[in-house]
Amino acid sequence: MRVLMIVNLRSGQGDSGLYDYVRALGEAGAEVTIRFLGLGGELERLLADAADHDCVVAAGGDGTVSAVCRTLANTGIPILAYPAGTANLLALNLDIPTDPLALARATVRGATRDIDLGELTFGADGAPSGFIVAAGAGYDAAIMEAADRYKKSLGAAAYLVGALQNLTPTVAHFTLDLDGRTVETEGMAVLVMNVVRVQFDLALAHESDPSDGLFEVVVVRTKYVPELIPAVWAAFIDRFIENPARSPGLEVHTAREVRIESDPPLRLQYDGEVASATTPLTARVLPRAARMIVP
């Protein structure tokens, strides 16, 4: 078995078990090639011979995994989302283990699942980008931007610090085009989600299938951060018992293509990366474009 491993040197808080993982692959008879992002190498060049390998391992955060998946979209090359970043939300949603030995077993003996990708268009040049977890406008982008400086020292808790530093978010009027249907609403954020389990394993919607060709579009309708507490509590209870109730602070739609306009314009983020651009934002589904390794 030939494994191509792309490691983002800037992701995470340090050691994420990569040595133990590679050693376990070697003991299983795999030939592992390791290449590093962050040393000036362009991802397209690092993945140029990906088809000559049995699978690709993307070791980093959700942004790293997303970039690898977009580069290899519709190639059928299996990709493992190795959780070496801060939040690792795709790995959480696909039930990818965190133990290096379990990850090695999944790489060698796991199954594959084709999941959707999201394509984004925003900014003055309209250049497309993309995501695999979620993209959003408003409060979530403010949290991501504030949390960035704390990720190395605090890990996932950096997002909580980011939230506490933004207790009075901007409330905007949103115009959503959902597959040609227009929705007028307001709130502090809109999230276009391919998967709905977020930090601390809280689900923002009851059901989500990253292979169904649909986004969950979640509007955070609250005007103040404390008003989110009922929604957070409902999501927490949902981890243990079936809890159909959800706070009216969250409004959920589904769509294949979404356009978000806001008044005033709001900052954007995708897979935890904060963009310099603001709304409007257009997102469309690329159905089952990424082939992921799962346990």
For residue 254, count CB atoms less than 10 angstroms from its CB and return exposed for 0-12, middle for 13-18, buried for 19 or more: middle
> Which amino acid belongs to residue 230?
P
Closest alpha carbon to 206 in 223, 179, 231: 231
Q: Which CATH number is 118-288's, of 2.160.20.10, 1.10.3720.10, 3.40.50.300, 2.60.200.40? A: 2.60.200.40
pTM, rounded to two decimals: 0.88
The runs of H, that is alpha helices, within the chain are: 18-27, 43-46, 62-71, 89-93, 100-109, 139-147, 151-154, 157-164, 229-238
Closest alpha carbon to 62 in 289, 271, 258: 271
Task: Tell me if 2-109 shares its fold with 118-288.
Answer: no
Contacts of 155 (CB under 8 A, 6+ apart): 13, 86
> Which amino acid belongs to residue 56?
V
Q: Which two tokens stand for residue 82?
A: 């190795």
Q: What is the CA radius of gyration of the chain?
A: 19
Contacts of 240 (CB under 8 A, 6+ apart): none
β-bridge mates for residue 128, sequence order: 121
Contact indicator for 253, 204 with CB cutoff of 8 Å: no
Cα end-to-end span (Å), the chain? 17
Q: Which CATH topology does 2-109 take? A: Rossmann fold (3.40.50)
Tallying the residues shown for the chain, one arrives at 295
Closest alpha carbon to 261 in 151, 184, 198: 184
pLDDT at 43: 93
Domain boundaries, the chain: 2-109, 118-288
- Give me the helix-helix angle, 157-164 and 139-147, nearest 10°: 120
pLDDT at 241: 52
Q: Are strands 31-37 and 2-8 parallel, antiparallel or unpaired?
A: parallel
Closest alpha carbon to 139 in 295, 269, 4: 269
282's enclosing H/E stretch is strand 281-294
Q: Which two tokens stand for residue 255?
A: 């769509």
Q: How many angstroms separate the CA atoms of 46 and 56, rounded?
A: 11
Per-residue pLDDT of the chain (295 residues; tens, 9 = 90+): 999 999 998 876 566 899 999 999 999 999 999 999 975 568 999 999 999 999 999 999 999 999 999 999 999 999 999 999 888 999 999 999 999 999 999 999 999 999 999 999 997 777 678 999 999 999 988 888 887 777 767 776 777 777 777 777 899 999 999 999 999 999 999 999 999 988 767 777 777 899 999 999 999 988 877 666 656 645 554 555 555 555 567 899 999 999 999 999 999 999 988 998 899 999 999 999 999 999 9
User: Angle CA(109)–CA(199)–CA(144) in degrees, nearest 5?
Assistant: 120
Q: Which two tokens stand for residue 276?
A: 């310099």
